[in-house]
Amino acid sequence: MYTFNNVCVFCASSAGNDPIYIESAKQVGEFIGQRNLSLIYGGGKVGLMGAVADASIDAGGKVIGIIPDFMMAKEIGHTGLSELVVVESMHERKLQMHELSDAVITLPGGFGTFEELFEILTWIQLGLYQKPVGILNINGYYDFLEKQLDNMVVEGLLKKEHREGLVFSNDLEELFELMHQYKPIEQLFQLKKDET
C-alpha cells in the first residue's frame, strides 16, 4: 500500500454555480485534516481553494499554501494558514507544490486547475513525479475528460498504463483507497546514468 502524508489539492479559485462544489471542497479539507494529513494547495482564500483550506484548518490539519506574489498584491492570499509561502512565479508555485506533496487530488476548476493537472500527468509520464493522482469527480464534472482520456488510448495517442495512472471517483473515501493502491509504472523516458 502506498502511504502519503502531504496531499496537494488542485481546484478553482471560484465557487462555481452549484453549491455542491463548495460543500465537496469542505468535505475534502475536513477529510484531510481529520486524518492528520497536511494539505498543500495554491494559497488562495477564495472559491474552492479557500473552502478546502478553511475546512482543513477547522479540522485541526496543517495547511501549507504556495502563492505567487502578484496574487498577494491582489489580496487573494490566505493569511490564516499554518504556512504561506510566497514565490515569484506560477512556475515556482507548481514546482513547490509538486515537491512538497506525496499525492494529488483534483477538484473541479477552470484553465488553471486543468493546467496544473496536465502538467503533473506529463511529469508522471516522463518519470519526474512518481506519486498518485486522483480526480474527485463531483457532480459528473469530469465525465467528459474521463471519456476523452479513454479515447486517446483507443486512438493510440496515450499509453494505457499512463491513462490508468489517473484514477477517478465520485466518492472521496473510494478515491483515497484507489490512490493508496498506486504503483509506479515503468517510464517511457528515463535518463541513463551517464546522462544525469
Domains, the chain: 6-143+160-181 (3.40.50.450)
Report d(CA 110, CA 101) in Å as an integer.
21
For residue 77, the SS3 value is strand
pLDDT per residue as tens, the chain (196 positions) = 899 999 999 999 999 999 999 999 999 999 999 999 999 999 999 999 999 999 999 999 999 999 999 988 777 899 999 999 999 999 999 999 999 999 999 999 999 999 999 999 999 888 888 999 999 999 999 999 999 999 999 999 999 999 998 999 999 999 999 999 998 876 544 544 445 4
pLDDT at 192: 45
Query: CA 2 to CA 51: how far, in whole Å?
Result: 27
How far is C-alpha 178 from the chain's CA centre? 15
Instruction: Find where cell 509561502 sits.
Output: 85
